[in-house]
Amino acid sequence: DIQMTQSPSFLSASVGDRVTINCKASQNINRYLNWYQQELGEAPTLLIYNANSVQTGIPSRFSGSGSGTDFTLTISSLQPEDVATYFCLHHNSWPYTFGAGTKLELK
Amino acid sequence: QVQLKETGPGLVQPTQTLSITCTVSGFSLTSHYIQWVRQSPGKGLEWMGFIRSGGSTEYNSEFKSRLSISRDTSKNQVFLKMNSLKTEDTGVYYCVRTSFDYWGQGVMVTVSS
């Protein structure tokens, strides 16, 4: 199985900060990597699919990059409504696996 | 618009069978896969399996011996059944469309006597 190592587990940042979250795959997953935002008690919301494509309706401050084994989610200017937990998911081959999550808080 | 909604029992006793229904609207089950994902305190998010648009299935080996996914296209419904439940199966179960783009609201299942 492909393991997804997500870092950091916790992140505290200020409004306006540039925030980056990383996921590393244990083997090549090409660009088959999605990023999600999950607010407390809600279902995950798709932000980025196939590593760098922004889902319709998602603010432009969210972007994704990477291919192969190393991927990054970037929030260019953190907003208060971005406080949430963020997950990555690989869908290169089954079993698909998720990162453990990054909890993002305001400083 | 695209919607998925899970309905399930809430509380299930250990060793019993879990049955959850996912009812979809805004798209056709004959054109899209339906994935099942579980979120638990102990293991986080786990992919359980899917049913293809043609009706065949694939399962995560972690669940394979206990899990069954089926559907009724005339009712726009997909069914998850998992037997021999353990307390560790407690969590929120989600049905998700094809490429993990649209998710249901999830249904909380507690396995407890």
Give the model's pLDDT for residue B64: 74
Segment B58-92, tens digit of pLDDT: 999 999 789 999 999 999 999 999 999 999 999 99
**What pLDDT shows up at residue B65?**
87
What are the pLDDT digits (tens) for A20-74? 999 999 999 999 999 999 999 999 999 999 999 999 999 999 999 999 999 999 9
Cα gap A105→A81, rounded to integer Å: 10
CB A37 within 8 A of CB A64: no
Three-state DSSP at B73 gives: helix
The two structure tokens encoding residue B53: 């648009």
Q: What are the angstrom distances between the C-alpha of B29 and each of A12, A105, B5, B106?
A: 41, 38, 14, 19
Tell me the chain B residues in contact with residue A37 when contact means C-beta distances shorter than 8 Å: none
pLDDT score, position B73: 97
- What pLDDT does A79 receive? 98
Q: Find the mean pLDDT for residues B23-47.
A: 96
What average pLDDT score do residues B4-23 get? 97
**How close A65 comes to chain B (CA, Å)?**
18
Amino acid at B10: G
pLDDT of residue A21: 98
pLDDT at A40: 93
pLDDT (average), residues B97-101: 92
Closest CA in chain A for residue B64 = A95
H-state helical runs in chain B: none
CA distance A43 to chain B (A): 5
